[in-house]
Amino acid sequence: MSAEPAVPTAFVVGWPIAHSRSPIIHRHWLAEHGIAGDYLRLPVPPDEIGGFLRGLAEGPYRGGNVTVPHKEAAFAAAERHDPVATALGAVNTLWLEDGRLIGGNTDVAGFLGNLDQQAPGWDAAPGPAVVLGAGGAARAVIHGLIGRGFAPVFVVNRSRDRAEALAERFGPAVRPAGWEDLPGLLPGARILVNTTSLGMKGEPPLVVDLAPLGADALVTDIVYVPLETPFLAAARATGRSTVDGLGMLLHQAVPGFERWFGVRPTVTPALRALVLADLGVTA
Ligand code: ATR
């Protein structure tokens, strides 16, 4: 049994973890609500994550977030899962119920909450969607889009087998595709989402000819450093609506905070500005 910390405490565990902005978000909410609590970054390497997760039921934490590369390990370690975690096979939020470790996934809520806040009505007339990339983040985006009635969801990926694996996971609504198919998919798309790492600081830009995309299609990116990726800048330059990825990070944090600290927090412009300042990004 670990010693109880002085105040209710949650964590984010990953490897590496130094870059995580989650402590800024949760400490901001703790201060905003006058809660005496804490939120820590815990670096845990892959060969130690199993033992770390098994020990959580003994305390001392209320729970925590799980990030790369431990989301599947957290899924395996949790005794029970919420429906989204089950659908995705990945856990990003852990909490305790009656001494049992429960795993949830709030990435879908983060993706949807961001669009609901930044582009209200974006899902009023769902139709075909195009998702670029087939990694872990794509899973959450696809699940969210299907849940809001978008179909088919075309998954465009460099490695075809990963796109096909997602079609197997999610069923016939998901159609695997290659980059060469993209020009033919864009005219019908209601929404275009980048979930690849292209466009992130230090990575090559994502270059897509957006000319075939409908003028009223929404374009969004899960990358948030830089805040406006070259992909989003190109979409905005042609008059299309765009939503950046920072809100997904902020909104995915909401359900965890509520579980651990008992208050449902709000994603405000002040929180967004705080995280942007820490990222060294100008809005
Ligand atoms: P995450 O879990 O954050 O989604 P990931 O699982 O590493 O990260 O997935 C990264 C995605 O970016 C993948 O779809 C990857 O394509 P592959 O599956 O073919 O690797 C995509 N990606 C990364 N670099 C790319 C590049 N240079 N060109 C095309 N796609 C790229």
Residue 263 has phi, psi (to 5 degrees) of -130, 135
- Scan for tokens 């899973």, then name that residue: 139
| For ligand 1, atom 18: residue with the closest CA | 159
Same domain, 226 and 99: no
Answer yes or no: is the C-beta of 195 below 6 A from any ligand 1 atom.
Answer: yes
Which CATH number goes with the domain that contains 214? 3.40.50.720
Same domain, 128 and 221: yes
The reply to whether 1 falls in a domain is no
Would you say residue 143 has pLDDT above 90? yes
Q: How far is CA 40 from CA 9, 13, 20, 65, 272, in A?
A: 8, 9, 10, 10, 20
HEC string for 177-204: ECHHHHHHHHHHCCEEEECCCCCCCCCC
Answer yes or no: is the C-beta of 159 below 6 A from any ligand 1 atom.
Answer: yes
Which CATH number goes with the domain that contains 269? 3.40.50.10860
Distance 245 CA to ligand 1 centre (A): 16
Number of domains the chain contains: 2
Domain residues for 45? 9-105+250-279
Answer yes or no: is the C-beta of 72 below 6 A from any ligand 1 atom.
Answer: no
The reply to whether 38 falls in a domain is yes
Same domain, 125 and 206: yes
- Which residues neighbour 2 within 8 Å (Cβ) at sequence distance 6 or greater? 55, 58, 59, 60
Q: Of these residues, 71, 81, 139, 272, which one is catalytic?
A: 71
The reply to whether 208 falls in a domain is yes
pLDDT at 282: 64
Q: What is the number of other CB atoms lying within 10 angstroms of the CB of residue 96?
A: 18
Same domain, 272 and 238: no
pLDDT digits (tens, 9 = 90+) for 171-218: 999 999 999 999 999 999 999 999 999 999 999 999 999 999 999 999
pLDDT digits (tens, 9 = 90+) for 251-261: 999 999 999 99
Q: For residue 281, name the pLDDT band (cuts at 50, 70, 90).
A: confident
